Structure 1
Amino acid sequence: MTDGVLLVDKPAGVTSHDVVARIRRGLPKGTKVGHAGTLDPFATGLLLILIGRATRVQRFLMKQPKRYETIARLGYTSTTGDPEGEIRPGNMPGEELELPTGIITQRPPAYSAVKVGGKRAYALARAGEDVEIPEREVLVARFDLEWREYGRAKFVIECSSGTYVRSLIMGLNDAYCVELRRTRIGDFDVADASEERLIGLDDALAFMPAVELDTEDAAKASHGAAVPGHAKGMVRLRDEQGLIALAEPRGGGTLKPVVGFRA
């Protein structure tokens, strides 16, 4: 099997790109390799590495909800929201911490990978330019305090894609992340990380409903033609041989393939 997803437990001190490059070197020349969601160099935890045709479904995997564990230093600020920034004394948050949940408005940190005018925000910030990043709505399903002692606190956060944990912690006034670990992406858990096991595309996309096709419709779908069917969102089109394509609902009770996996 040459197409699928690897669950990697990224260590601190390396970039997500470093992990992709290392894995690419161990694969046949020309194999496409990517990832579904960057982790900062200081962060650890689950990284989804996409091999071969799995790179075609990057956007769907990136939209999956995330779970993080983070340890914050209280009473100090960091220009980057993590240990790599300029650290300064600040105000110690009160005993009753406000931990927002639900749909909230958040501004990504200036030192983030968000693109501003075609350039990465962190590149502009490091060059000394003022960075204005638009606010965005994100969903924080869980924001729990696990413990607090000696000016530090541990939190567990479950949130939508696009949420910046550093911003959540900086919002405690004053605090920053000293450790950050991603423990879950959708149904994938870091406890299952193994570079020896490649998860097939069909299994990796099991969060999408499956529609089974007969031989005639399977042939149509494999060539990108719409097939009869009803769905509320993106679905997997399958037959006895496995995954054919990802399809979205179109008018007239049809499903139109938008990502194909068969030649």
Structure 2
Amino acid sequence: MTATPSAAGAGVPDGVLLIDKPAGRSSHDMVGRVRWALGGRKARRVGHAGTLDPFATGLLLVLIGRATRLQPYLLALPKSYETVAQLGARSSTGDPEGEIERTGRIPPAPPALQLPTGLVRQRPPAYSAVRIDGERAYRRARRGEEVEVPEREVQVSRFDELWRSGDRAAYAIDCSSGTYVRSLVADLGDAYCLELRRTAIGPYRVADAHQPEEEPAAWRVVPLADVLPIVLPVHELDADEARRAGHGQRLELPDAPAGSEVALLHDGEAIAIGRREPDGRIHPVVGFRA
């Protein structure tokens, strides 16, 4: 990105930018690069929806401006990965950056080895972003502390071996939010993630993502009104309802979709996220007009 930040980012709308993160860079680096392109410290708020480890590559959803208010909803989307596993070895971190122990024991190939799908109990790695007593697990692990991260249940809908060559194998994995692919691979026994690439988040594909060096003039930002139907049922407001919702007023919307939350739109504009109250009214709790 070589353009002057304030001028380059002036025409970029609020929304979701798909970035293909390279290896060796953190998710925070990618957010910083976008923030710089939008004007540096004076830029609109910028965040992301789902960390990728520095060694990993692939799809990162960068949230610009009011789209940062959608972070919890986008984080909950399912994800797809492709990974190359090093077999016959273990890593203290589950990836190439840890201490490597060569065992020479090669896990068998499917169907001799059943790859877990469905509801899976897993223990996230000690070197993970999970909080333990308010602190990231990886920070404790780097200090040499013994870290035992609580087990969690995740949903794995696909776990296929794509190829195997000697002491390496590639896998395609579709899973719920919160799944640690490093743990899935380590649980195969004597294996760790040599390469990891995120290929999809919900309906968004890495094939449609931008390279980090592209300038803002080339960005195709997904607008808020197109993102909301991905994460919530949608209700279309008339002009008066949109005005009232924009001011946070509760609405009587008997035709709104069932459920605890609904996205409120008007004429292609994202107005708010509404939460259903016990009396049936919709209370706008996340606004997008200001």
CA shift in 2, pair 1:168/1:241, >3 Å:
closer
Aligned to 2:278: 251
After TM superposition, the score normalised by the length of structure 1 is 0.96
Name the stretch that deviates more: 70-79 or 198-207. Answer: 198-207
User: 1:192, CA displacement in angstroms?
Assistant: 0.4
1:13 aligned counterpart, secondary structure? coil
Query: Which shows bigger deviation, 55-64 or 91-100?
Result: 91-100
User: In the TM superposition, what whole-angstrom CA distance separates every residue of 1:37-91 from its partner, at most 9, and x where no partner exists?
Assistant: 0000000000000111111111100000000000001111000000001111222
**Residue of structure 1 equivalent to 2:192:** 176
- Residue in 2 aligned with 1:223? 247
Q: What residue is the counterpart of 1:197 in the other structure?
A: 220
Cα deviation, residue 204, structure 1:
1.9
TM-aligned CA deviation for residue 215 of structure 1? 2.3
Post-superposition shift, 1:148? 1.2
The residue type equivalent to 1:223 in the other structure is H
- TM-score relative to the length of structure 2: 0.87
Equivalent residue for 1:214? 238
Match of 2:45 in 1: 32
Secondary structure of residue in 2 paired with 1:50: strand
Partner SS for 1:8: strand
Which structure has the highest strand share of the two? 1
Instruction: Give 1:241 deviation, angstroms.
Output: 5.3
Following TM superposition, by how much is the alpha carbon of 1:233 offset from its aligned partner in structure 2, in angstroms?
4.1
Aligned partner of 1:10 in structure 2 is 21
Give the superposition deviation at 1:216: 2.4
Q: Which moved more, 1:244-253 or 1:17-26?
A: 244-253
Name the amino acid aligned to 1:140: V
Q: Are 2:92 and 1:92 equivalent residues in the alignment?
A: no
RMSD, aligned α-carbons = 1.3
Q: Distance in 2 between matches of 1:228 and 1:182?
A: 42
Question: Is residue 170 of structure 2 the alignment partner of residue 143 of structure 1?
Answer: no
Q: Determine helix, strand or coil for the equivalent of 1:57.
A: helix
Deviation at 1:146, TM superposition (A): 0.8
Q: Structure 2: which 5+ runs fail to align?
A: 1-11
Distance 1:217 1:155 in 2: 49
The share of aligned pairs that are identical, in percent, is 57
Equivalent residues, number: 263
